[in-house]
Structure 1
Amino acid sequence: MTVAQSVAAILAFSVVLGWVRLLLWQRRAPASSRTRGWRLAALLALQPIAGLLLFSTLFPPASAGKATGTLVIATAGAPRFVTTGAGERLIALPEASGVVGAEHLPDLGTAVRRYPDAGALRIVGSGLEPRDQEANAGLAVRFEPARAPSGLIALQPPGPIAAGARFAVTARAGDLADGSAELLDPASRIVDTQPIGSTGEIALSGTVRAAGTTLFTLRLRDGSRARVEQAAVPVWVPASPSARVVILAGAPGPEVKYLRRWATDAGVAPQVRLGVGGGASLADTPPALTMAALAKVDAVILDDRAWDGLGTGGRQALAAAVRGGMGLVVRITAPVPRGWQVLGLSARGTADVAPVTLRADAPSDDALAARRGPGTRDAPASIAGARDTVPELTRQAVTIAGGMPVLRDIRGTVLAASRGSGRGRVALVSLQDSFALVTSGHGDVHAQLWSELVSAVARRQAGPAVQIEAPAFAGQRMAICGAGSLSVTDPGGRGGRALVDPATGAAGCAGYWPDVAGWHHVSGPAARPFYVYPADALQGLRAVDRRDGTLRLVGSGGRTSVGTVEDNRGPSWPWFIGWLLVAGLLWWLERARIGRGGVPVFEGQTEIASRDPY
């Protein structure tokens, strides 16, 4: 029972009790003392009138001109038959197809303007589209969400990546606890796969070897291996200038040899200097370790012997360069003395070495072959090692403290860690024989390892930062922030201007409405491509976005809540004044002598009047 119903019951009981008391007195009183008929009728009538006016004061009904109706809004995913009650009008938005008995309107704003007497909204289905989520005009909202969708319900494509680097794709699947997820390259070869657990979380990875744009595919399968859904995963590898790397070593060795080969294969022209003892060194072009020269270098890779042999001046120059944005990688090749550290990163341990087992780079032989590609003339894919033949490596048995892990082995042991120093970063790595990966036919693992490590610390290339809303869909507004007013070219070569919304302030976001799917290109200083999905793509993900957006709308308003609709009541003061007048009249009539039986008109006789409560 509601509060209003409880108050109404109490008032009705009070009126009935007053009637019973008045009638019992009238029946038991002598005939000469009974109240006149008209007075009794007035007392009986005024009591329920007073109770009704008091109830209307506490719970005023909607006054004339107030919004009293409810619009039932059918959205995508709404059932074919929607039940409506008294005072409710059924409206179907364009995404709700086949709703019986509904009036079809283009958007929520049109419905609100067409029916200004509506005081509330009842949303049925998966929720409002972004265009409608701010068109509720302050009305009370009730949301009856449809059943949670299955399949792909969240997807985070990778951001810009470097050529040859590994990229990550994260996603979430609904109602596929026994299924699996696969990542396919543009040639439809599986490069990664993962079973889907109870949480539905998915994390896959792949590699791209050349600059440009491409589309990978995320495919979901159920427990019977039947395909449930697949979605495009856009990947962009920007064409960037080659990194500038300096390699320093205290002595020649296979580790430096294959490190140099990796840098050359990656398109980097490294400057290498090798110590040969007695203060002599070998170098193609001796690198200058001055502030001016190091300002043009993106990363320096050296071992602990070279670091200690630089002297105070050389170490100070490198430290200053790191604070200016350069990256520094120091390889630990021998036991380190107590208290040894590099720019805040310390290593402590014993003189022993420990075994290292790296995680397989792909879930299957076919996936590994797809990641490796055709190979090169001097290293064809046919001579590459099998997936299960990754050799056991060694590391110096030290613990790196003061940084964030960058590389781990299959047991979770930290092989490399880094920390910030000014605008740059420094890393320590304890691997001693990563070259064995190359000599055993796993050069791809060696290249991936060093690419990840150097990329984690190398100098960041400065440039205009543009944030593009992803995923974007054809026919739906999207935001491009950080570049001001800009031009966008669609896949057909048509250009359009996107103007900044002043309301976005310092973010400088511009609105853009793509009308075709495919790769679009932002031009200007912040030039970059972005992918637009077809209007009917990623239905499960969009259903979740609609539901979450509608729930935020319901929860953000002071008058709105899920499952409740606030009454749109009129003012209570007219009912209060009416109650005061009726209560005053009732009070006067109960105490006045007019209409009392057997009561003399002069003041001396009051005995009978004193026994009459009315």
Structure 2
Amino acid sequence: MTPDRLVAMLLVIAVVAAWCRLWLWQRGAPVRSPSWRVAALAALQPVLAGALYLTLFAPSRQITADTLVIATEGAPRLIQTGTGETIVALPEAGAIPGAQREPDLATALRRHTAAAAIRIVGSGLVARDRPAAARMTVTYAAPSVPRGLVALTPPGPVAPGARFDVLARIEGGGSATLVDPAGRVVDTARPDADGNVVLHGVARVAGIALFGLRLTGGDTAAVPVVTVAAAPARAVILAGAPGPEVKFLRRWAADAGLTSQEQLAVGGGLALGEAPTTFAGYDLAVLDDRSWTALGGGARAALVQAVRGGMGLIVRLTGPVPHNWQVAGLATGGGASIVPLRLAPAAPSQAALDARRGPGSRDAPASLAAPLDEVPELSRVATTIGGIPLLRDARGTPFAAWRNVGRGRVAIVSLVDSFALVTSGNGDAYADLWSTLATTIGRAGSSGAGPGSETLAWAGQRTIVCDIPAAGATAVAPDGATTALLADPAARGCAGYWPRLPGWHRIAGGLRYIHAAGALPQVRAAERRDATLALVGDRAASIAGARGDDHAPSWRWFLLFLAAVGLTWWLERRRR
């Protein structure tokens, strides 16, 4: 029970008690008082109680505050306003009759100090005005989501030969196609029920490139890809017996630029190569199940300790394993048989596959590559692997999974004969498979271009740059102009940059693509819409036309209470 209700209940009881006292006093008095005197005293009791209650809990009064109607980009020319509403047009809005032009929302709020709420009309606030709106009560009737491309996430820096992913969201259906800088189709996919679509491509040599995203409706978008030369990573390969799987794995490591050390057991206690004395300096270790078992307890403990320090560990299964067989806590369900496995198509069409493979080289000419439909049937151990699925077959069955162990990762691969991809002319699929494993499981940062994604930036609009190596970093525009980055005091290592020209900018030693000011209009509109909707919270429920509550002064009720007390005392003490 709230205090005001408790006091009200006590005052009601006091009024009833006062009436009972008057009745008993009148009944037991030798000379009865006049009826008007008794009636006046009875009427004063609720007046006393009411005045005392209003003195303690003064009633609230509603104060109508001004509301600013903020016209943003896409706002209609004619905007209906109510009582106490003033229209303010931001620079992105068109011609609005009767609207006051303001350079930004913060300036508008400083000039209209009586405004307690804002009503946003149009596609929403840009990043410049959102901090000022965060402290206001916001109402926003969001327009419908525009059709076409409404979200795009380019890939982060990738290593040469690695696969990259392009994420997009499409409203209104259709399909999306990724094309390389030469205009050749790389991948085609249709969005899911939520409109999300993921397209895959392959980076070639180190440098910058502009891929393209095409939609069925005709929309196009530039997809910048930065390929960074990978720093040589150190890998160790241990095998319990020689064979084609180890042979092609060593060849892949050499082609991928890994500095590897190998040891192959040949039987009779003999081995080819030399095992490392410590695993601490390696970025990736690839073992099979037999070499994992032959390491012994001390060597396995040292290997797991290196994984906890950040190294990646991949264990290949070469045959059936017992139930609950595990590697550093990553267990398998056990498998007593070998079952067939077929990989999903590497590309949606033969032309897309040719574009991904590239022109070939002297050692691996494109003429020797197998067609799209000639992918061999592989084999895997019929076991389930606990952890996070990493690789799946055409039916969606995982044949590789991983888990975190300290700062490193451990993975188990149940694929037995991945080398058959190379011997059948599908060397690109083999390289993609092992590159995915090495990139995901290997030591973070060893490739020089870890997985990630880039945010979009437009000319004439502020963009945030983080992970700046030192203070005083600069940005170089395509025309050669140098601009000092403005450090953000609230976020260490981040700064703001206002690019003037579209194109490739060198920012703090890295490359960043800036889109033209009018590029991707649906993406920008959807971004403004979603960000503005995030500002609308429970605060809007407390207003109906921007109203606020305030308590009226209680001294008037206190004076009424004193007057009623004095009159009651005089009536009770009156002798005549």
**Equivalent residue number for residue 99 of structure 2:** 102
Q: Matches of 1:138 and 1:347 in 2, distance apart?
A: 53
**Equivalent residue number for residue 210 of structure 2:** 215
Of 127, 130, 140, the residue aligned with 2:127 is 130
**Equivalent residue number for residue 389 of structure 2:** 405
1:173-212 to structure 2, matched below 5 A, reads: 173-174=170-171, 176-177=172-173, 179-212=174-207
Q: Matches of 1:121 and 1:339 in 2, distance apart?
A: 61
Query: 3-state SS of the aligned residue for 2:287?
Result: strand
**Equivalent residue number for residue 21 of structure 2:** none
Q: How far apart are 1:72 and its partner, in Å?
A: 2.3
**Equivalent residue number for residue 6 of structure 1:** none
**Equivalent residue number for residue 238 of structure 2:** 248
Deviations 1:168-211 (A, max 9, x none): 1222122x13x111112222222111123442111111110222
Distance 1:115 1:373, change over 3 A: same
2:412 aligned with 1:432, yes or no? no
Q: Matches of 2:547 and 2:336 in 1, distance apart?
A: 78
| One-letter identity of the residue aligned with 2:263 | R
Q: Matches of 2:313 and 2:112 in 1, distance apart?
A: 67
Q: How far apart are 1:448 and its partner, in Å?
A: 0.6
2:252 aligned with 1:272, yes or no? no
Of 547, 550, 557, the residue aligned with 1:567 is 547
Distance 1:107 1:316, change over 3 A: closer
**Equivalent residue number for residue 487 of structure 1:** 474
CA contact (8 A) 1:469 1:478 kept: no
Q: Matches of 2:450 and 2:482 in 1, distance apart?
A: 21
Pick the structure with greater CA Rg: 1
Query: 3-state SS of the aligned residue for 1:170?
Result: strand
Q: Matches of 1:134 and 1:270 in 2, distance apart?
A: 51
Query: 3-state SS of the aligned residue for 1:553?
Result: coil
Distance 1:562 1:433, change over 3 A: farther
**Equivalent residue number for residue 532 of structure 2:** 550
1:272-291 to structure 2, matched below 5 A, reads: 272-282=262-272, 286-291=273-278
CA contact (8 A) 1:289 1:317 kept: no
| One-letter identity of the residue aligned with 1:108 | L
Of 418, 421, 432, the residue aligned with 1:448 is 432
Distance 1:234 1:131, change over 3 A: same
Of 486, 493, 502, the residue aligned with 1:517 is 502
Q: How far apart are 1:247 and its partner, in Å?
A: 2.2
2:395 aligned with 1:417, yes or no? no
Moved more, 309-318 or 142-151: 309-318
| One-letter identity of the residue aligned with 1:555 | G
Distance 1:238 1:561, change over 3 A: farther
Of 459, 468, 488, the residue aligned with 1:501 is 488
Q: Matches of 2:408 and 2:451 in 1, distance apart?
A: 22
Distance 1:468 1:578, change over 3 A: farther
2:281 aligned with 1:299, yes or no? no
* Structure 2 residues without counterparts, runs of 5 or longer: 1-57, 568-575
Q: How far apart are 1:339 and its partner, in Å?
A: 5.3
2:230 aligned with 1:230, yes or no? no
CA contact (8 A) 2:501 2:516 kept: yes
Query: 3-state SS of the aligned residue for 1:398?
Result: coil
Deviations 1:367-412 (A, max 9, x none): 11111101111321122111111111011223333x3222111122
* Structure 1 residues without counterparts, runs of 5 or longer: 1-56, 589-603, 605-614
Deviations 1:429-450 (A, max 9, x none): 1212111111111111011111
Q: Matches of 1:473 and 1:446 in 2, distance apart?
A: 38
Q: Matches of 1:456 and 1:467 in 2, distance apart?
A: 11
1:26-45 to structure 2, matched below 5 A, reads: none
Q: Matches of 1:393 and 1:307 in 2, distance apart?
A: 23
Distance 1:441 1:555, change over 3 A: same
Q: Matches of 1:216 and 1:447 in 2, distance apart?
A: 22
1:4-153 to structure 2, matched below 5 A, reads: 60=61, 68-136=65-133, 140-153=137-150
CA contact (8 A) 1:74 1:124 kept: yes
Moved more, 235-244 or 476-485: 476-485
Distance 1:193 1:579, change over 3 A: farther
CA contact (8 A) 2:474 2:507 kept: yes
CA contact (8 A) 1:255 1:434 kept: yes
Distance 1:338 1:90, change over 3 A: closer
Aligned residues: 512
Distance 1:469 1:130, change over 3 A: farther
Query: 3-state SS of the aligned residue for 1:203?
Result: strand
Q: TM-score, normalised by structure 1?
A: 0.75
Deviations 1:480-502 (A, max 9, x none): 33436333333333333224333
**Equivalent residue number for residue 45 of structure 1:** none
| One-letter identity of the residue aligned with 2:240 | G
Distance 1:464 1:400, change over 3 A: closer
Distance 1:385 1:58, change over 3 A: same
Query: 3-state SS of the aligned residue for 1:333?
Result: coil
Query: 3-state SS of the aligned residue for 2:344?
Result: coil
Q: Matches of 1:250 and 1:569 in 2, distance apart?
A: 79
Of 319, 335, 341, the residue aligned with 1:356 is 341
Distance 1:145 1:235, change over 3 A: same
**Equivalent residue number for residue 229 of structure 2:** 239
Distance 1:378 1:139, change over 3 A: closer
Q: Matches of 2:175 and 2:312 in 1, distance apart?
A: 39
Of 284, 308, 313, the residue aligned with 1:328 is 313
Q: Matches of 1:466 and 1:353 in 2, distance apart?
A: 33
**Equivalent residue number for residue 54 of structure 1:** none
Q: How far apart are 1:467 and its partner, in Å?
A: 10
Q: TM-score, normalised by structure 2?
A: 0.79
CA contact (8 A) 1:141 1:562 kept: no
| One-letter identity of the residue aligned with 1:270 | S
| One-letter identity of the residue aligned with 1:272 | E
Query: 3-state SS of the aligned residue for 2:128?
Result: helix
CA contact (8 A) 2:156 2:452 kept: no
CA contact (8 A) 2:402 2:409 kept: yes
Q: Matches of 1:364 and 1:272 in 2, distance apart?
A: 38
Q: How far apart are 1:119 and its partner, in Å?
A: 4.8
Deviations 1:69-98 (A, max 9, x none): 443221111112222345433332221124
Q: Matches of 1:68 and 1:346 in 2, distance apart?
A: 65
Query: 3-state SS of the aligned residue for 1:394?
Result: strand
CA contact (8 A) 1:78 1:146 kept: no
Q: Matches of 2:553 and 2:243 in 1, distance apart?
A: 95
Q: Matches of 2:451 and 2:309 in 1, distance apart?
A: 24
CA contact (8 A) 1:555 1:562 kept: no
Identity %: 51
Query: 3-state SS of the aligned residue for 1:472?
Result: coil
Q: How far apart are 1:153 and its partner, in Å?
A: 1.8
